[in-house]
Structure 1
Amino acid sequence: MGSSARGRQAEANALVPLPLRDGVAPSYLWLTETRAGGMLRFLCERFPDVPMQSWAARLERGEVVDAKGARVAFDTPVRQGMRIWYYRELDVPEVPIPFQEAVLFQDDHILVADKPHFLPTIPSGRFLRETLLVRLKRTHDLPHLVPIHRLDRETAGVVIFSHNPASRGAYQSMFQKRVVTKTYEAIAPLLQGRTLPFTYRSRMQDAAQFFLSEEVAGEPNSETLIELIEGRGLLARYRLHPHTGRKHQLRLHLASLGAPIVGDSFYPVARPCGSDDFSAPLQLLARAIAFDDPLTRQPRSFASRFDLRWPM
């Protein structure tokens, strides 16, 4: 990262007018137009799913501020170019995720975490504090913590975070350049009629249901090397090496081969959404990550301490 980029990043960090609150960083919104009616009316129209009483209470508590940290009132004018800061809140209590993450490594630049099944990497939807990012910010007092890559909520394993804005770009570029080696493990039905190892390729795209991916005809844009570790009856434990990083790539590839991963509620057919069955996690694990450190040029590798569970 060049000096000008570091300067912009430092300036942006210095301008955050609200502190972390129980590990939750404030969100911000740029106002793109001038509107009549005051800030309370604007917020209710901009976020129609949030009750007016909720926004009114936040404004009363001084939890909505402008870029200089000044409190925003009910009747504060809505002007184009303003930036307001606020804390995201959930309307219903979060269901606690009864599994604990672990920190595998930390230095002045990165933190490597071991994520359990069911725990989202970052806040979204119905998850806020019960996420890996917020848990780590809260327990390790790292306000600038950002994931360099992500895992599906249902997948366990190794996740790398940056907590130093000055060196973040160097680590992000590793994933952009695809110089990081990722190794996964999965338990799924034994593949019939295949000589392992072999490489599976397909063309993937977002499905009509936004949370799913699908395969379509055309030039392949996804590739996975599949190796057999061991077999037990009708099931097998596989080692998977994704050479690309499409959404749900490993899950879709194995399902397309007729071997959906044990515990997968999305592929080959998405089951109706419901409460999590914590006794039946998806048997997919991000086992290890390896790379040459972009700052020291030394090889680094990190392995998950979690294990997959064979069905009884």
Structure 2
Amino acid sequence: MKQQLEILAETGDFIAINKPAGLLSIPDREQSEPSLKDLLLRQFDSIFTVHRLDKETSGVIVFAKNEASHRFLSQQFEARTTTKLYNGLVLGKVYDTEGTLDQPIGEHPVKKGMMTVVRKGKPSITEFRLIESFPQYSWMEFRILTGRTHQIRVHMKNFGHPIVCDPLYGDGQPVLLSSIKKKFKLGKDVLEERPLLNRLALHARSLQITGIDGKELTLEAPIPKDLRATLQQLEKVNAG
């Protein structure tokens, strides 16, 4: 598997990658497919996991290159001194321009691999801001103050606006141009419509950390093509 990785920043202590959607951050228990960490280990002698993104989430992820950097960066995530911003497209029209979702998250009592809002779960806080609304969707910014598994996805499901194309917490349905454009027609020789978006519509856009040298760094990953193309079509429809 050859995959060209987009490096956002690199020093002797860490490397920041714009992780593509569909790639595991670290190996899963079954070692079922290559992960981003596996790919990096082919290039570097040692790579240490600092944090992770869900497989279908794209965006900024940082790995340490040595034990000292690993310890230093990991402590920031544990102490919640990092600033993590995400963008996401959610189902439905969100009417609140901003807000805070402060609900504990724990493992689902029945469904393996799923998380849920549960009274005895771990404290979990997500701040949200509405950037742009469309008839069927809303484009959002999220800041997570805790780092629970599937946190944004669980909180937005509980809020009534799951992330678009989320197979676990939403309807898993792709975004089709025919569903948002009134006078849509397939091309003459096209038998089947290709989705505008067919993966979890969540992107880790920005991460602010402090380097081991004491300097503050803001790492940013541009919005991927599939999300950009979807937004452009939604904006066209909004414009009439």
- One-letter amino acid matched to 1:101: L
2:25 equivalent among 121, 134, 142: 121
Question: SS at 2:23's partner residue?
Answer: coil
Q: Provide the residue aligned with 1:174 in structure 2.
A: 76
**Secondary structure of the equivalent of 1:136?**
helix
- Any conservation in 2 of the 1:191–1:257 contact (CA below 8 Å)? no
Alignment partner, residue 298 of structure 1? 215
Q: Deviations for 1:99-140, whole angstroms, at most 9, x for unmatched residues?
A: 7431111111000011000100111145455211111222x2
SS at match of 2:77: helix
| Distance (Å, rounded) in 2 between the aligned partners of 1:278 and 1:170 | 40
The match for 2:199 is: 281
Report the secondary structure of 1:200's partner residue: strand
Among 180, 194, 202, the alignment partner of 2:103 is 202
Structure 2 unmatched ranges of 5 or more: 174-194, 234-240
- What is the aligned partner in structure 1 of residue 14 from structure 2? 110
Tell me the TM-score normalized by structure 2.
Answer: 0.78
Counterparts of 2:82 and 2:26 in 1: how far apart (Å)? 21
Q: Which residue of 2 aligns with 1:51?
A: none
1:133 paired to 2:51: no
Q: Residue 166 of structure 1 aligns to a residue in which SS? A: helix
Query: 2:127·2:143 contact (CA, 8 Å) conserved in 1?
Result: yes
* 1:230–1:238 CA contact under 8 A, matched in 2: yes
Native 8 Å contact 1:251 1:260 kept in 2? yes
Alpha-carbon distance in 2 for matches of 1:257, 1:189: 11
Contact kept? 1:129, 1:135, Cα under 8 Å: no
Closer, same or farther: CA 206–174 of 1 in aligned 2, 3 Å:
same
- How far apart, in 1, do the equivalents of 2:207 and 2:90 lie? 22
- The Cα offsets for residues 26-61 of structure 1, whole Å up to 9 and x where unpaired, read as xxxxxxxxxxxxxxxxxxxxxxxxxxxxxxxxxxxx
In structure 2, C-alpha distance between the alignment counterparts of 1:119 and 1:135, rounded to whole Å:
10
For 1:258-273, list aligned pairs within 5 A. Answer: 258-268=160-170
Q: Give the Cα–Cα distance (whole angstroms) in 2 for the partners of residues 188 and 170 of structure 1.
A: 34
Structure 1 residue runs of 5 or longer lacking an equivalent are 1-95, 272-276
RMSD: 2.6
Q: 1:107 to 1:136 in 2, by over 3 A?
A: same
Alignment of 1:181-196 (within 5 A): 181-192=83-94, 194-196=95-97
The residue type paired with residue 222 of structure 2 is R
Residue pair 2:124, 2:146 contacting (<8 A) in 1 also: yes
Distance 1:99 1:285, change over 3 A: farther
| Alignment CA distance shift 1:268-1:148 (3 Å) | same
Query: 2:117 matched to 1:215?
Result: yes
Question: Structure 1 residues 204 and 147, CA, compared in 2 at 3 Å: closer, same or farther?
Answer: same
Shift of 1:270: 8.3
CA distance in 2, matches of 1:283, 1:195: 20
Residue 168 to residue 216, structure 1, CA distance change in 2 (3 Å): closer
Partner residue, 2:134: 232
Task: Count residues in correspondence.
Answer: 207
Q: Secondary structure at the match of 2:104?
A: strand
1:123 is aligned with what amino acid?
P
For the Cα contact (< 8 Å) 1:201–1:220, is it kept in 2? no
Specify the code of the residue in structure 1 equivalent to 2:98.
Answer: P
Cα distance in structure 2, aligned partners of 1:106 and 1:287: 17
